[in-house]
């Protein structure tokens, strides 16, 4: 096995991992802080892709499309949090209601996009500046995939800065441990939750907008993406932001090299990794078994 094959497989896996992380991080953030399991998180990824498709048709500019995808998905996320999710918070049967409610969102959003954009697949073009490929010796990587990897890294660094170095980050960390206490200290918790929901769904929307030039968008895409994201979130530890990053890279690379060495079994590998992790660390890799949870 030559070194260049390993490098191109690794870089390919990394670009898959970064998109996976963008979706999974929003999912895990909402769970970690708001204790809401947002089954419809994949639908925001889909919405982001559709919004970006629409904006590009109107303005013929990829970056406006990306912005529209993130902001549009984030705004809808906030509206759904304020109008619906907040209403069931604190109820005795909250867990079951969350699944029912967010599952209903999936159906409504799917039918909504079908109503607006029709059932046919949509796809968008890469921006001119990122359409080529970078070739170093025998290794070729499309510029766009490289861009996705860099974007992922920028988001990781930004998230680290916001979560650990800003007041807002500290409030979010505190709220994930004890929401009631944070409220007593004079923080407007419901505002924080709405904002958090908005940011998390905007990250999903951004992932969708970024993935749209590579993939196809169709009604139902949201449900397809949520399974892989769930695997990542479970492996990393429910609610654990850094766990999601590690797990996304793990899954991306296990798949990349699985496809190379064990192509017959490739589609089973992510599940196999999840099973192994759950046997040895039932709460995920990055969750401490007892005591405080760190996000």
| Residues in contact with other proteins by the rule CB under 8 A | 5, 8-9, 12-13, 15-16, 19, 110-111, 114, 119-123, 125-126, 131, 133, 140, 142, 144-145, 211, 213-216, 218-221, 224-225, 228, 255-256, 259-260, 263-264, 266-267
Taking the complex as a whole, the smallest distance from the CB of residue 116 to other proteins amounts, in Å, to: 14
Taking the complex as a whole, the smallest distance from the CB of residue 135 to other proteins amounts, in Å, to: 9
Indicate the residue among 30 and 46 with the shorter CB distance to other proteins: 46
E strand spans, the chain: 133-136, 139-142
Using an 8 Å Cβ cutoff, are 38 and 31 in contact?
A: yes
Let me know the angle formed at the C-alpha of 273 by 268 and 279, rounded to the nearest 5 degrees: 125
Taking the complex as a whole, the smallest distance from the CB of residue 50 to other proteins amounts, in Å, to: 14
253 token code pair: 């690379």
Indicate the residue among 57 and 61 with the shorter CB distance to other proteins: 57
> In whole angstroms, what is the distance from residue 115 CA to residue 107 CA?
12
Taking the complex as a whole, the smallest distance from the CB of residue 179 to other proteins amounts, in Å, to: 34
Indicate the residue among 85 and 106 with the shorter CB distance to other proteins: 106
Q: For residue 183, with 0-12 CB atoms within 10 Å meaning exposed, 13-18 middle and 19 or more buried, which class applies?
A: middle
Indicate the residue among 186 and 263 with the shorter CB distance to other proteins: 263
47 token code pair: 């919405």
Residue 9: C-alpha distances to residues 132, 194, 247, 252 (Å): 19, 39, 18, 10
Taking the complex as a whole, the smallest distance from the CB of residue 250 to other proteins amounts, in Å, to: 14
Taking the complex as a whole, the smallest distance from the CB of residue 47 to other proteins amounts, in Å, to: 16
Indicate the residue among 60 and 264 with the shorter CB distance to other proteins: 264
Indicate the residue among 240 and 255 with the shorter CB distance to other proteins: 255
Taking the complex as a whole, the smallest distance from the CB of residue 210 to other proteins amounts, in Å, to: 12
Q: What is the DSSP letter of 262?
A: -
What is the SS3 assignment for 229-254? HHHHHHHHCCCCHHHHHHHHHHHHHH
Indicate the residue among 13 and 77 with the shorter CB distance to other proteins: 13
Indicate the residue among 9 and 201 with the shorter CB distance to other proteins: 9
Let me know the angle formed at the C-alpha of 112 by 104 and 77, rounded to the nearest 5 degrees: 60
Max CA separation in the chain (angstroms)? 61
Taking the complex as a whole, the smallest distance from the CB of residue 214 to other proteins amounts, in Å, to: 6
Using an 8 Å Cβ cutoff, are 136 and 255 in contact?
A: no
Across 108-130, b (16+ Cβ under 10 Å) vs e yields ebbebbeeeeeeeebebebbeee
């Amino acid at each position: 096995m030559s070194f260049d094959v390993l490098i191109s497989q690794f870089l390919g896996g990394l670009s898959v991992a970064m998109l996976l992380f963008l979706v999974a991080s929003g999912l895990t953030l909402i769970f970690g802080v708001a204790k809401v399991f947002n089954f419809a998180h994949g639908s925001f990824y889909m919405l982001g892709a559709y919004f970006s498709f629409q904006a590009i048709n109107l303005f013929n500019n990829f970056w406006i499309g990306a912005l529209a995808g993130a902001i549009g998905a984030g705004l809808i996320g906030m509206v759904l949090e304020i109008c619906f999710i907040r209403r069931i918070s604190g109820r005795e049967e909250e867990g079951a209601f969350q699944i029912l409610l967010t599952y209903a969102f999936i159906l409504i959003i799917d039918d909504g996009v079908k109503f607006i954009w029709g059932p046919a697949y949509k796809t968008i073009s890469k921006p001119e500046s990122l359409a080529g490929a970078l070739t170093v010796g025998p290794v070729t990587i499309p510029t766009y995939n490289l861009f996705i990897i860099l974007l992922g890294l920028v988001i990781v660094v930004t998230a680290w800065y916001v979560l650990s170095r800003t007041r807002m980050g500290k409030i979010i960390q505190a709220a994930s441990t004890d929401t009631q206490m944070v409220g007593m200290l004079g923080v407007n918790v419901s505002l924080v939750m709405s904002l958090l929901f908005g940011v998390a769904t905007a990250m999903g929307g951004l992932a969708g907008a970024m993935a749209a030039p590579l993939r196809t968008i169709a009604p139902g895409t949201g449900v397809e993406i949520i399974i892989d994201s769930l695997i990542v979130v479970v492996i990393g530890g429910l609610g654990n932001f850094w766990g999601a990053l590690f797990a996304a890279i793990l899954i991306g690379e296990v798949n990349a090299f699985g496809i190379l060495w064990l192509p017959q079994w490739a589609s089973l590998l992510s599940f196999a990794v999840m099973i192994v992790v759950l046997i040895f660390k039932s709460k995920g890799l990055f969750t401490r078994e007892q005591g405080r949870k760190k996000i």
